[in-house]
Amino acid sequence: MENYPIVPGRGLVTPYSTKLRQDYLDEQGYSTTHIAASGLLHSDIQNKIESYIGSVEIPIGLVGPLLHIEEDGKEWVYAGAATLEGALVASMNRGAKAASMSGGIATTFVHQKMSRCPMFIFNSTADAGTFYNWLPDKFEYIKKEAQKHSNHARLLSIEPVLADTVVHARFFYRTGDASGQNMTTTCTWHALLFIVSHFTTETGIAIKNYVIEGNGSSDKKVSSYSVENGRGVRVMAECYLKEAVIENVLRTTSQDIVNCFTPSVALANNDNMFSYNINVANTIAAIFAATGQDLGCVHESSVGMLHLEKTDDGLYISLVLPTLVVGTVGGGTSVPKQKEMLELMKCYGQGKLQRFAQLIAAFALSLEISTYAAIVSGAFAKAHEKLGRNKPVNWLTRTELNQSLVRGIMGSVHAEYASLNVSFVEKEMENGIITNLTSKTSNKLIGFFPFTATGPQHNLSLLIKSKASDQDIIKGLHSLAAAIEPALSDLIYAYRNHTEYYNCHLKELFIYEDLHNSGFCITPKYFGKKENVQREIYLLAMEYLQSDAMHLFNTENKPEMWRLEDVKKVIEAITKIHQHYYSGENQVPDHLIRRFDPSQLVPLYEKLIAIILKEEASSERSGQFKKLPGFLKDITQSIENSWPVCVIHNDFNPRNVGIRSNAEVCIYDWELAVKNIPHRDIVEFLAFVLVDRNDISVLKENLGLHADIWGKNLEDNEWLQGYVYGLKEFMICRMSFYKVSEILMKLKFPDRVMDNCFAMLSHIEAMIEANKRYE
């Protein structure tokens, strides 16, 4: 074809040739803007890529620690897993935790081989037969010739296969710490030339044709021959899982796993499935991508034989990887990031291949353990369950989040803002736990989007907060709970409309607007909102709080930073809001923000408490946690009282409360607001900021301030009982979620805050008893 397009710089990998190719694509109407933004140096990828135009990124998750049993002891090991498959790294880590808590995973390196299989074609079967008999006798000569061309390759054997007029010759090498495909190709090619020359000279028989590979090596393919005779590394991993760990970490039982495993293996055998495993390929692909391995070898390297047996105290489980094609030198292993990942595993360079293969097997077994347990327990299905309606919705797109949209939102609050110049800032924002959970189960545009709005009189740093709906959040919580216990995820969904998450997407928009219109300066400044129910769009334009303009900000794990005067300011500020919503003229409709009623959620809280009691059975806090069932009973009984009921923040802690540099209080993130007694906000905040839980005088001073503002005093036992109720409700209805979440993600504050709650409860109950004695 005369007009075949010519791409510039085809044979070059240089900055200039790369730019030529990018410009060429741009001229053809293709964009490489993101691909071109690569961190790779051309010098690092010379001879590893052709026609280079840029790179794509795969995020890497940290897997581990995993307790690896070695000949001379045990070691905590880690790996990087490159993947875009959500929950993969979490599952690998769960399996690693279960195996480690059971004593660790032992691995055995069996052998390493790499094969190449040239093909020789003859004019007759007699000539082929002569060659077939001649070849083994010349092995030592061929070996010497082949090994001239590598410092590391060692030819182990040549196994000829006769098929009519064709002879396939399987060359098996040991290739040191390289995977060996290129090495064996070079060595075999020179051996092949030696063979052709000497065979014809010695026998007078001409070889009609020959090729370096007749597909007999199963290179990048799966074959029974490779599995049985070896290609790559053969390695085994094994561990003994304890029953207690299977129940507490994997959320199932050894008997349930065995009951499912046996018939599923039978069907796999009946279907002629090649090897039995759950998802070895996920581990192989993730570690291969992270460490610069040949991705074309993922297929053959993912052959795995999973085996398990019931033991007296759990399960014995093993995994054999018979054809793991890996290297710790050569190929992509020396590219800086890939090298760094190998170094994380202590597997880079010479003498590390055996360790690398063993660790891959150990992490693959970790994933097998976790995934199969999830399947058996039902967690796998729950994590992938689609909840609610699946009707396509025309959700907001990133391109719609533009100057026109923002001007419309801001202009609805102040006309002068409708003409400001709006520019979005390319900056990653730290979203909260709930938003991050929701992002795993929703493709909506949710989170924070910073922008500037400027004009002759204004230079504003603002945020658009795009909110998830209450049902989106429930889906995220459902998915999280599924990894803990499927029954918990069912309960979260069943009682979703009674939780504080109900209407969360509407409540915060309402409160920001209402407080702004009522003249409060206690929240980040409000610049407007946009709601579109049909498209599920809920946007809030607000001040961008920056840490350098704050005295206290995001300090939920830094109680020592809170001075007594700061705490008092916060109590005064939130009480003003409570009293605003306690006023008859400011009552919020129940259909928007309703009274929180724990009695509607008893089965959910019972399940959370049961999980906590099981998790904490052997901890030093077990005695305290045994009080939780009684607390649940206390807060769900109908008790006559005169406590005020108003809109409260309901997530009132230093994650959502700050102090500006000018000493003003700033309260944000109102999505969990409910109608409840004001005591509930106060005790939550104090539980986070108390430094000395034994100092009853500080507690009395803060509670006394709160009571005074309401026209009460600490000699009023009914008022004090409000704090008791608030503490018990906070522990049952909020802290229980945090404690159970720690099964999957370690948080810094739950134990400290729970200890503070129990101490505060003890102090307040002592105050009540003292008041009774003086009556």
pLDDT given for residue 638 in this prediction:
66
372's enclosing H/E stretch is: helix 353-377
DSSP 586: G
Residue 224 lies inside a defined structural domain of this protein: no
Which two tokens mark 307? 């085996």
- Asked whether residue 505 is assigned to any structural domain, the reply reads no
Q: What is the pLDDT of residue 378?
A: 82
Q: Write down the pLDDT at residue 431.
A: 67
Nearest to 445 by CA among 426, 472, 420: 472
User: Does residue 314 sit in the same domain as residue 394?
Assistant: no
Of the pLDDT bands very low, low, confident and very high (cuts 50, 70, 90), residue 476 is confident
pLDDT of residue 266: 87
- What is the number of alpha carbons within 13 Å of residue 373 lying toward its C-beta? 32
The closest alpha carbon to 460, from 429, 417, 430, 514, belongs to 417
Lowest-confidence range among 62-66, 139-143, 179-183, 681-685?
Answer: 179-183
Q: Are residues 312 and 236 in the same domain?
A: yes
- Both tokens of 548, joined, read 């350098």
Structure tokens at 441: 């189960």
Residue that is written with structure tokens 């003086």 in the block:
774
Q: Which of 434, 457, 412, 666 is nearest to 550 (CA)?
A: 666
What residue type is assigned to position 304 of the chain? Answer: G
Condensed to tens digits (0 to 9), the pLDDT of residues 116-141 reads 999 999 999 999 999 999 999 999 99
Q: Which residue has the higher pLDDT, 638 or 245?
A: 245
Cα gap 633→611, rounded to integer Å:
17
The region that residue 726 occupies, defined by phi over 0 for left and psi between -120 and 50 for alpha, beta otherwise, is alpha
Please calculate the CA angle 753-604-372 and round it to the nearest 5 degrees: 95
Across the range 710-731, mean pLDDT stands at 96
Q: Are residues 449 and 478 in the same domain?
A: yes
> Same structural domain for residues 664 and 561?
yes
Cβ-count burial 282-320 (b if 16+ within 10 Å, e if not): bbbbbbbbbbbbbeebbbbbbbbebebeeeeebbebbbb
Asked if residue 237 belongs to a domain, the reply is yes
CATH number of the domain at 290, please: 3.90.770.10
Q: Is residue 405 domain-shared with residue 361, that is, in the same domain?
A: no
Average pLDDT over residues 35-41: 89
Q: Say what the alpha-carbon torsion angle 94, 95, 97, 102 is, to the nearest 10 degrees.
A: 150
Q: Classify residue 498: in a domain, yes or no.
A: no
pTM: 0.79
Q: What was the pLDDT predicted at 270?
A: 84
Question: What pLDDT is recorded for position 151?
Answer: 86
Backbone angles phi, psi at 234, to 5 degrees: -105, 125
CATH number at 625 reads: 3.90.1200.10
Q: Is a pLDDT exceeding 60 seen at residue 100?
A: yes
Percentage with pLDDT > 90 across the chain: 74
> What gap in Å lies between CA 438 and CA 459, rounded to an integer?
33
Residue 743: which pLDDT band, with cuts at 50, 70 and 90?
A: confident
Same domain? For 84 and 28 the reply is no
Average pLDDT, the chain: 92
Report the pLDDT value the prediction gives residue 639, as an integer from 0 to 100: 66
Q: Is the pLDDT reported for residue 453 higher than 90?
A: yes
On whether the CB atoms of residues 95 and 66 are closer than 8 A, the answer is no
108-122, 269-283, 358-372, 646-660: segment of lowest average pLDDT: 269-283
Q: Which of 336-350, 393-407, 490-504, 711-725 has the lowest mean pLDDT?
A: 393-407
Residue 176, pLDDT above cutoff 80 = yes
Percent of the chain at pLDDT > 70 equals 97
- Count how many domains the chain has: 5
Q: Assess whether pLDDT exceeds 90 at residue 248.
A: no
Please give the pLDDT value at position 485: 86
Alpha helices in 205-335 (DSSP H): 224-229, 243-248, 254-270, 280-291, 298-301
Boundary (domain end) residue, out of 353, 377, 401: 377
pLDDT bracket for residue 389 (50, 70, 90): low
Cβ neighbours of residue 119 closer than 8 Å, sequence gap 6 or more: 166, 167, 168, 169, 210, 211, 213, 214, 216
| Domain identity same for 270 and 205 | no
pLDDT for 642 beyond 70: yes
The Cα 111–Cα 129 span in angstroms is 32
694 and 571 inside one domain: yes
CA distance 14 to 20: 10
The predicted pLDDT at position 386 comes to 67
Per-residue pLDDT reduced to its tens digit, 431-452: 666 677 777 777 888 889 999 9
The rounded distance, in Å, linking the Cα atoms of 359 and 176 is 17
pLDDT at 390 > cutoff 60:
no
Of 364-378, 381-395, 548-562, minimum mean pLDDT range = 381-395
Q: Is residue 545 within 8 Å of 666, Cβ to Cβ?
A: yes
pLDDT confidence bin for 391, thresholds 50/70/90: low
304 has a pLDDT exceeding 60: yes
d(CA 474, CA 477): 5
DSSP string, 154-168: EEEEEEEEEETTEEE
φ/ψ (deg, to 5) at 305: -110, 105
**Residue at 186 is within a domain:** yes
Residues 760 and 640 in one domain: yes
Same domain, 5 and 85: no
Based on C-alpha coordinates, what's the Rg of the chain? 33
Does the structure show a pLDDT above 90 at 253?
A: yes
> Does residue 623 sit in the same domain as residue 704?
yes
| Sign of the torsion angle spanned by Cα atoms 547, 467, 477, 524 | positive
Supply angle C-alpha 508, 498, 395, rounded to 5. 50
223, part of any domain = no
Q: Among 30, 57, 84, identify where a domain stops.
A: 57
Residue 225 lies in a domain: no
Band of pLDDT at residue 388, cut at 50, 70 and 90:
low
Give the Cα separation of 119 and 168 in Å (integer): 5
pLDDT for the residue 611 = 94
- When pLDDT is averaged across residues 68-73 and rounded to a whole number, the result is 89
> What does each C-alpha distance from 343 to 27, 179, 336 come to in angstroms?
42, 17, 10
- Which residues are identified as catalytic? 85, 294, 384
For the chain, report the end-to-end CA distance as a whole number of angstroms.
105
DSSP secondary structure letters along 76-108: EEEEEEE---TTHHHHHHHHHHHHHHTT-EEEE
Is 85 a residue whose pLDDT tops 80? yes
Residue 230's pLDDT is what? 83
Per-residue pLDDT tens digits for 215-233: 988 888 898 889 888 889 9
Identify the DSSP state of 595: B
Strand 60-70 and strand 105-116: pairing?
A: parallel
Helix (H) or strand (E) holding 421: strand 421-424
**Joined tokens for residue 746:** 């370690």
Structural domain harbouring 25: 1-57
Domain boundary among 377, 409, 425: 377
Q: Tell me the per-residue pLDDT of 495-536, one tens digit each, with 9 for 90 and over.
A: 999 999 999 999 999 999 999 999 999 999 999 999 999 999
Residue 591: which of 672, 515, 496, 507 has the closest Cα? 507
Same domain, 257 and 348: yes
Among 193-197, 413-417, 575-579, 730-734, the minimum mean pLDDT is found in 413-417
Kindly state the average pLDDT of the residues 473-488.
87
Residue 245 lies in a domain: yes
